Structure 1
Amino acid sequence: MKLPDKGTPSGQLWAFLASVRLTVIVLLSLAVTSIIGTLIPQNETPAWYIDRFGEIWFGVFHTLDLFDMYHSWWFQILMGLLTLNIIICSMDRLALTGKIIFARHPSFRRARFLKRKNRKEVRIERSSTSLRPLYENLLQKEFRYVRTEAHEQGFSVFAESGRKTRLGVYIVHLSVVLLLAGAMIGSFFGFEGYMNVAEGETEDTIQLRNSPGSRKLDLAVRCDDFNVIFYESGAPKEFRSDLVLLRGGREVVKKSIVVNQPLRHGGINIFQSSYGPLPPDARMLEKDGVVLRLISLDSKMEYRKKLKTGKIVDLPEGGGTILLKKALPSFLFMGARDMGETLVLEKRSPDGVVTEIKLPVAFPRFDRMRRNAVFAMGVEGLTQRYYTGLQVTRDPGAPLVYAGFILMIAGCFISFFMHHRQICVDVTSEGEFSRVLVSGISPKDPIGLEKKVEKIAERITRA
C-alpha cells in the first residue's frame, strides 16, 4: 500500500490524522465532555433546566446541545474523528509492518543472531555436513517456515513461527472501530422506550427514555393475558405477559415473556419490565356491576347482593344500605402494603351512621379484620386486571458491538499470548568438530524466547 507523499497537502493531512497528538487531543476532549455530561443532568425538561440554571445559561447550553450531549453533532464528530484516527494510524503502521507480515520469503540476517544475548553455544564432535539434515528435521517439527543458508564456515538453519500474530494489535484496533461504529449507528438509528399495555388491549406507541417525546412503532403490541404470582409476603415472584405482535392488523409473532426472556422480532426487543393493577372499567361497573358476598356475624347466614355504581342496595337483616361509590387502582393498607385494585363502598346503618369500607379485590377475607362490623364482606365476579410494563428497544448497531467485543478478546489474546519468533541454528565447522550456536529474535516475550532457545540447545546437544 502506497501512502501519500508527506510533502503534498494530502500527505500532510494524512500525517495529521495518523498522529498520536490527535489521538491524545480527541481522547482528552471526550473525557472532558463526559465530565460535563455527568455534571449536567441529561434529557430533563426545559422547565427543569430553566429553574436550575436560569434562562441565559439555558440558552447557552441548549445551543451547545449539552442537554442531550451524547447525541449532539459535535460529540458524534469527536467519535468519528477518533474512529478515523484509529483507521489511519493502523493503515500507516501496517504499510511498514506489512512487509514483514505478508512476505513470502522472510529476511534473515546471520549477523543479528550471532550478537544476541540469549545465544547458546555447544561444541559437538561431528562434522557440519552430517548435522545439516538432522537440525533441519528438528526445527521443521516446531516451526512452519524453515530455511537453510550456507556460508563460508558452515551453514545456518533459520526457522520462524507466529509471523501473523503481529496482526493482533490491528485486530484490537479494528475491534475499537467496530465498537465506535456500532455505538454511533445505535445512537442515530436506535431507540429505547417504554409502553404500558392493559390486558386485552393494543398499543403501538412508546414513550422514549430520557426524552419527552414518543415514537410510533411500525407494529402493534397486544397483551392477551397477564399473570402474576406472589410470595407469601405479598412480593411478586414472577409476572408473565402473553404478547402478540401485529402488523397491518395481522398476527406476526406470539410469545409469553417474563423477566430476562424477551420477545425479539425484526430488530426490536421487548422486555418484561414492570406491571401494575388496573381499576375496573367504570362502564362495566355501571352496567354489569359486581356481586357482594355478605356473611352475618350474628346469624352466620350468607347473602349475595348485586352492586352497581351509584345504586343504593338494602342490606339483609335490616342492616341498613350499601352503595358502590368507585373503584381504586391501588390501596395502601396501613400506608405500607399495596392491596391492588380496591372497591370503595359506603354503608349507612339504620340509625344513619355512614361508614366507608374498602374491599381489595385480590383479598376476599380482608374485611374480616374490620372492627364493629355487622357483616363480613367480599367481592365476587370481579378479577383483578393488570397492565404490563414493557421496555422496547432497537439497536441496529448491536451486531457490530458484539463483533467488536469478540475481536477485542481475540486480538488481546493474540497480542499477549502468541508471539512472532525467529530462531537461528548456526553451525561452524572446526575440523572434526562443529561449533553450534543457537539464538532467537522476538519483538515480545524475551523470557519465553530465552527458554525456547535453551530448549532447542538441549535437543541439539542430545541429538
Structure 2
Amino acid sequence: MEKIICACGHENPFGTKLCEKCGRPLTEEVKNQKVLDMRYDGIAIRSKTRNKSIVDKIWNFFSSVKVGVSLIFINLVAASIGTIFPQEFYVNVATEAEREIYYEETYGSLGKLYYTLGLSDVYSSWWFQILVGLLGISIIIASLDRGIPLHRSLKNQRVKRHESFMKRQRVVAEGPVTAGDSAKTLDLVEEQMKKLKYNVRREGNAILAERGRFARYGPYINHVGLIVFLLGVMLRLLPGFYVDESMWVREGDIRTIPGMDGYFIENEKFILELHDNEKTEAQIQQGVNAVAKNYQTNVKLYKQPDDALPGQTDNLELVKEYSIRVNHPLKHEGYSLYQMDFRLNELKGMNFALTKKETGEELGDVSIDLTNPQKEYVIDDQTKVELLGYYPDFSGFKNGEPQTATSNPNNPAFIFKMTTPEKPDGEVSFVAIKETVEPNGDNVYKMSFKGIETRNMSGLTVHKDRTIPILIVGGIIFMLGVAIGSYWNHRRIWVEQLQDGTIRLAAHTNKNWFSIKKDLTAITEVAHLPQFIDQVEKENNEDGQKEKEGDSTL
C-alpha cells in the first residue's frame, strides 16, 4: 500500500490520519473535525486499512470490538448454563450410571436432558474450551492491532506540532503574554511543569509536557491479565496440570487412585464420632438428626514399582500412613486427598445355609463375598451350590429377566443351583431379600438366610491444581490494569512561542479533564499565559444558548 506523504515531507503508513511528525490532518474526514479524535493519536491500525487476503479477513474479524463483546457474552451464557444444576464434581456418586440416575431422580426429565447433553460437566467440555480459546484469540489480536501502533506513536512523539494540530485540540489558548518578560515565559512554563511532576521536553521555542503516559496501557495490561487467566483455564485440560476426581474405598480394600498414576490407597478403617452419643449409626441412616464431631479415614498410601504393570498390586511400597479428616487432607507430590463423604454399614457379605425344607436339616454353610462372589461353593463331594446369577442392586424383572440398578450391593439377589445327593441334577432358586422364587416348582432344598457382614465406605476426592498460581498471576495483572486505567490519566500539554511573542497552547488528556484544567490554571497564573478555552464546553454552551433563544421566540 502506498504511503501518505505529508506537506512536511514525512512518509506516513497507509491509513494514518494525523501526520506522525507534525500532526497535520491527512484525510478529509479529520480535516472537517473541529476537535480531533485523539483516541489512537491518528495512527494507522491494521484492521482499518487491510482487507484483501484471508489472513486480513481473519485478523479483522477477531480484532472487532463487536466480535469480542459477543464472545464475552457467549462465554458468560455458557458458564451460566453450568450453574442450572450442580456439576458432576459436586455429585457424590461412584459411577457414570449412578450419575445419570441421580440427575433424573433428583431433577426429573430436565435433569436427565441436562446430563445427556453433557451440561453436567460444562467447564471441562471441548466446546466450552473452544469458546474460551476464541475469546483469548480475540483479546490477543485486538491488543496487538491497537496496542503496538499506539505504543510506537507515543514513543515517537514530536515536541513541535503544526498549527492545525494545536488548534484542533479540545483545550487551546493563543495570544500574547499578559504580564512579565515574554522572553522568560517558556522558562517559567518549564519550571512549573516540572513542579507538577510532568516530564518536559523542549526544542527551541516549543515545549511538550507529559504525565501519566503509562495510563494508556491500562486496557492492554487488562488484556494480558485476561490472556494469562484464560491460559490457566485451558491448561486444566492438559495431563498433570489439573486433577479433580472422586473415588469410593471400602474398609479393607486397596484401590488405584484416579488421576494419580502409580499410586494406591488402602482404607484401613473409617471412624465416625458424634456429639450426641445416644444416637446410633442405624438412626443416622434413617435420617435422625445427629451432629458429627469427627469423621475420618485411616489410610495407607502405596506406590507401585516402576517396572510393575498398570493395576498390579504386588510389591507395593508404603509411602505414608495418614488419618484423612475434614479439612485435613493427605498431601503428596502436589496431590491432595480430601474426606468428602461416607456410607455406613454397606453390605459386605451374606451367609446362607443349604437347608432341607421338610426337616430343617442344614447340609452346610455358604458365605458370599458381595464384592467378589465365587461361581461355585463346594460343601462336600456330592453337595455344592452354584451361583448362576448375581444382581448387586436388584431392581425388578424386565421381560422375565432380573435387573440390577447399580454395581453396589444395596439390594443383592441371587440365582442359585443347589446340587445334593437327593437332587443330583440340581434345583434352581431365585433368592432376594424377603423374596424367593422357585421357577421349577417346589424345591426340596432352599438357601436359608443366616446373617450379613457389613463395612463402611469412604468417599474421597483427589485434587491437584497447578494452574492456581497462573490464575492468581492473571488476576493480579488484570486488577493492576484496572487500577491503572481507572485512577491515572495521560496528560499532554504543548506550548509554543511564535516569533512575534504570541503563545500557542494545546492540551489533551484521555480522561479527567478537570485535572488537566487545574494544571493549566496553575501554569497560566505563573507564566502569565493567555486564558485557555475548552472548545467542547464552549460549543455545548452556544448550542444551549441557541435552544433557549429558540424557546423564547416561540
**Would the TM-score normalized by the shorter structure come out above 0.5?**
yes
Q: 1:273 to 1:36 in 2, by over 3 A?
A: closer
CA offsets per residue over residues 328-379 of structure 1, 9 Å max, x none? xxxxxxxxxxxxxxxxxxxxxxxxxxxxxxxxxxxxxxxxxxxxxxxxxxxx
Kindly report which structure 2 residues correspond to 1:107-256, keeping only aligned pairs within 5 A, or say none: 109=161, 111=163, 112-113=165-166, 116=169, 118=171, 123=177, 125-143=179-197, 145-150=199-204, 155-189=205-239, 190-195=242-247, 203-206=255-258, 217-221=261-265, 231=275, 235-237=291-293, 245-248=301-304, 249-250=316-317
Unaligned runs of 5+ in 1: 207-214, 283-384
Letter in 2 for 1:167: Y
Structure 1 match to 2:337? 270
Structure 2 match to 1:395? 465
User: Take 1:67 and 1:278, find their aligned partners in 2: how far apart are those partners?
Assistant: 30
| Shift of residue 32, structure 1, vs aligned partner | 5.1
User: Take 1:265 and 1:61, find their aligned partners in 2: how far apart are those partners?
Assistant: 33
Structure 2 match to 1:331? none
Structure 1 match to 2:26? none
Structure 1 match to 2:142? 89
TM-score computed with the length of structure 2 as normaliser: 0.49
Letter in 2 for 1:247: K
| Residue range with higher mean Cα deviation, 388-397 or 77-86 | 388-397
Unaligned runs of 5+ in 2: 1-43, 89-95, 278-289, 305-315, 350-454, 530-554
User: Take 2:517 and 2:81, find their aligned partners in 1: how far apart are those partners?
Assistant: 50
User: Take 1:226 and 1:164, find their aligned partners in 2: how far apart are those partners?
Assistant: 59
Structure 1 match to 2:486? 416
User: Take 2:173 and 2:54, find their aligned partners in 1: how far apart are those partners?
Assistant: 52
| Residue range with higher mean Cα deviation, 264-273 or 236-245 | 236-245
Task: Tell me, yes or no, if structure 1 residue 80 matches structure 2 residue 147.
Answer: no
Letter in 2 for 1:178: V
Structure 1 match to 2:411? none
Contact 1:166 1:419 in 2 (8 A): yes
Q: 1:229 to 1:124 in 2, by over 3 A?
A: farther
Letter in 2 for 1:183: V
User: Take 1:104 and 1:457, find their aligned partners in 2: how far apart are those partners?
Assistant: 28
User: Take 1:50 and 1:185, find their aligned partners in 2: how far apart are those partners?
Assistant: 32
Contact 2:185 2:527 in 1 (8 A): no
CA offsets per residue over residues 9-65 of structure 1, 9 Å max, x none? 2212221222234334434544554566566876574567899659xx97x995x65
SS in 1 for 2:193: helix
| Shift of residue 83, structure 1, vs aligned partner | 1.6
| Shift of residue 413, structure 1, vs aligned partner | 0.7
User: Take 1:281 and 1:50, find their aligned partners in 2: how far apart are those partners?
Assistant: 28
CA offsets per residue over residues 419-451 of structure 1, 9 Å max, x none? 211123455688xxx776765311122223223
Q: What percent of counterpart residues are identical?
A: 26
Contact 2:180 2:528 in 1 (8 A): no
| Shift of residue 218, structure 1, vs aligned partner | 3.5
Contact 2:211 2:492 in 1 (8 A): yes
Letter in 1 for 2:192: L
CA offsets per residue over residues 214-250 of structure 1, 9 Å max, x none? x564433467888777657963455667776543344
Q: 1:87 to 1:193 in 2, by over 3 A?
A: same
User: Take 2:291 and 2:102, find their aligned partners in 1: how far apart are those partners?
Assistant: 35
User: Take 1:269 and 1:128, find their aligned partners in 2: how far apart are those partners?
Assistant: 75
Structure 2 match to 1:362? none
Residue in structure 2 matching 1:450, options 517, 525, 533: 517
User: Take 1:452 and 1:238, find their aligned partners in 2: how far apart are those partners?
Assistant: 66
Contact 1:425 1:437 in 2 (8 A): yes
CA offsets per residue over residues 265-317 of structure 1, 9 Å max, x none? 433233343567679999xxxxxxxxxxxxxxxxxxxxxxxxxxxxxxxxxxx
User: Take 1:90 and 1:25, find their aligned partners in 2: how far apart are those partners?
Assistant: 17
| Residue range with higher mean Cα deviation, 33-42 or 87-96 | 33-42
Q: 1:139 to 1:255 in 2, by over 3 A?
A: farther
Contact 1:439 1:453 in 2 (8 A): no
User: Take 2:527 and 2:303, find their aligned partners in 1: how far apart are those partners?
Assistant: 74
CA offsets per residue over residues 117-147 of structure 1, 9 Å max, x none? 5457895543233344443233234446311
User: Take 2:514 and 2:299, find their aligned partners in 1: how far apart are those partners?
Assistant: 60
TM-score computed with the length of structure 1 as normaliser: 0.57
Contact 2:210 2:490 in 1 (8 A): yes
Structure 1 match to 2:7? none
Contact 1:200 1:225 in 2 (8 A): yes
Contact 2:345 2:456 in 1 (8 A): yes
Letter in 1 for 2:131: L
SS in 1 for 2:180: coil
SS in 2 for 1:392: strand
Structure 1 match to 2:60? 15
User: Take 1:391 and 1:88, find their aligned partners in 2: how far apart are those partners?
Assistant: 39
| Shift of residue 411, structure 1, vs aligned partner | 1.0
Contact 1:193 1:391 in 2 (8 A): yes
